[in-house]
Chain A
Amino acid sequence: MSILVIAEHNNIEIKSSTLNTINAASKLGSEIEVLVLGSNIDNVSKEISSYQHVSKVIFIDSEKFENAIAENIEPVILSLAEKYSHILAPATTFGKNVMPRVAVKLDVAQISDIVNIESEDTFIRPIYAGNALATVKTKDTKKVITVRPTSFDVVAKEGGSGIVEQINLDIAESGVEFIDREESKSDRPELSTARIVVSGGRGLQSAENFKLISDIADKLNAAIGASRAAVDAGYVSNDYQVGQTGKVVVPDLYIAVGISGAIQHLAGMKESKIIVAINKDEEAPIFNIADYGLTADLFEALPALSTELDKLNSIEK
């Protein structure tokens, strides 16, 4: 049987989480079909059809799908569900919002946030904020799964030659009216896929002081992250949050500044390749997982770091 992947996109660009999810699907079978629901998505659909492993793209172009309302997406997936053994979506707020609706209507227990695939019915997923890994085997014949994007590489954007099929389906009016969306605009790399992340915590003490973080991020071409404490305090907006209830990041370099290292924060960054911690409290738990630790007042260390980085002229852009 084939595998269905639900594409995440914003009608213009395809989110990299879609590429990670297609890769996860390729470990389950060779017939991979991608469902694209959106408005004015001819280009998006065509682009996905050329991705590695994709054998078919199914799309519906309708204003009803412009804002990814879960109630509108669910009936489309259900109408197609019969022919697939597995239905996969990324474990992003998009996938988390939609997939449990599909699972319950199919009377299937969803497997959330998988990080590894053992076989077609056995998966590994983190529980307790990643303090334990569960190997789970489902008894359901149809599998509804969300995939942790950072645990699977992206597929190549070329090499596939999937067919593209437009379908139509009448969807009943949902009880949800979209009002608006407030997205943080930034020229920096996207937090969840950046090669370098510089994160600030409560130690920054104010939104104003986060400039010290952005200055370093600019010099390293890094994304900016934050602990929950920093977001709760209003230093930066919610989309910067790294951790159990925020984003999971796996950069080559993660620099944690003024972050003590609560288990909930570690859940979102402890798989990073190299971790640097800068904290004035030498007892801070973040030092236990850091490859390089510096006990220092961040208000002295960050300007010094900025100067040192200026001295290096070979920073990758």
Chain B
Amino acid sequence: MKILVTVKRVIDYNVQVRVKADGSGVEKENVKMSMNPPDENAVEEALRIKEAGKADEIIILSIGEEKCQETIRTALAMGADRGILIKASDDVEPLAVSKIVSKVVETEQPGLILMGKQAIDDDSNQTAQMTSALLGWPQATFASKIEIEGNIATVTREIDEGLERIKVNIPFIASCDLRLNEPRYASLPNIMKAKKKPIDIKSADELGVDVSPRIEHLKISEPPTRQKGVMVADVAELVQKLKYEAKVI
């Protein structure tokens, strides 16, 4: 079985994002970029499934500008086998991403697709569900545990009420939660090896997918900022403030 894992290049999760003064977007110049965190969990899960002898090839797919190759290389250094980059502008919407993934699935025929549950830049949380609907494959979103036995997988999903378990047949698509696993660090020898692994580059045009945006960003603005409040000396003062000043208890 092949596993297809999608990875997105995003502003590193530790970076304090700054809104541009002209409202056209956020500052991306000289800002550290990394793999979207839950995508790392998706890569890790694919590696573990392969190491358990349940898959034989892991393909990493990224969509975006030329530099997304770095993100693919990171996944290859973790242990994935080869990469595919579909070149497009860096703000392809989930709708177009799901169409591109579906096209890649036609040629690659994986038995499993793993994605991060949400990209930490646009926070859309859509792509896995859309891809599932397009392919007609079952979806297992927000997965915190994936157990595969033969052709059947039992997936534990994190939902607002707690945990839910579902059973799905292969092929299926899972969106991964941060609690699915602990992603590994790439070792130096593996980083060197990854440089020789192949990355196939195509454009969205070649796949016949229209990536023109449907949503226009009229303005990106700073959220209202909170004023730093006061420091209290002890618990007694805190309770007095909450009771008589803020009047919330």
Contacts and interface: CB of A to CB of B under 8 A. Distances in A.
B219 interface: yes
A316 B248 CA distance: 9
Interface residues of B, number: 79
Interface stretch (A38-46, A49-57, A90-98, A201-209): A90-98
A176 B168 contact: yes
A302 B130 CA distance: 46
B178 interface: yes
B182 to A, nearest CB: 9
From B94, B118, B226, name the one whose CB has the most chain A CB atoms within 10 angstroms: B226
Contact of A101 (B120, B130, B241, B249): B130
B222 interface: yes
A82 interface: no
B188 interface: no
Contact of A109 (B38, B95, B144, B167): B95
A301 B230 contact: no
B192 interface: no
Interface string A263-283: 110000010011110000000
Interface string B228-246: 1111101110110111001
Contacts of B226: 270, 275, 288-289, 291
A128 B215 contact: no
B160 A239 contact: yes
A79 B220 CA distance: 36
Contacts of A104: 95, 98, 129-130, 133-134
B149 interface: no
Contacts of B242: 253, 274, 276, 292
A132 B17 contact: yes
Contacts, number: 260
A183 B161 contact: yes
Contacts of A312: 239, 243, 249
Interface in A66-113: 67, 69-71, 74, 92-94, 96-101, 103-105, 107-113
Interface string B35-53: 0001000000000000000
B165 A239 contact: no
B160 A92 contact: yes
A146 B17 CA distance: 24
Given A104-B98, A292-B230, A274 B238 contact: no
12 contacts: A133-B222, A136-B215, A177-B166, A181-B165, A196-B248, A238-B158, A239-B160, A239-B162, A287-B228, A289-B226, A294-B232, A316-B249
Interface of B: 11, 13, 16-17, 19, 26, 38, 93-95, 98, 117-118, 120-127, 129-130, 132-134, 137-142, 144, 154, 157-169, 172, 177-179, 213-223, 226, 228-232, 234-236, 238-239, 241-243, 246, 248-249
Interface of A: 10, 67, 69-71, 74, 92-94, 96-101, 103-105, 107-113, 122, 126-140, 174-184, 192, 196, 220, 228, 231-232, 237-239, 244-245, 247, 252-253, 263-264, 270, 273-276, 287-296, 301, 304-305, 308-309, 311-312, 315-316
**Ranked 8 nearest A-B pairs via Cβ:** A291-B229, A100-B129, A109-B214, A175-B138, A100-B126, A104-B130, A101-B133, A179-B165
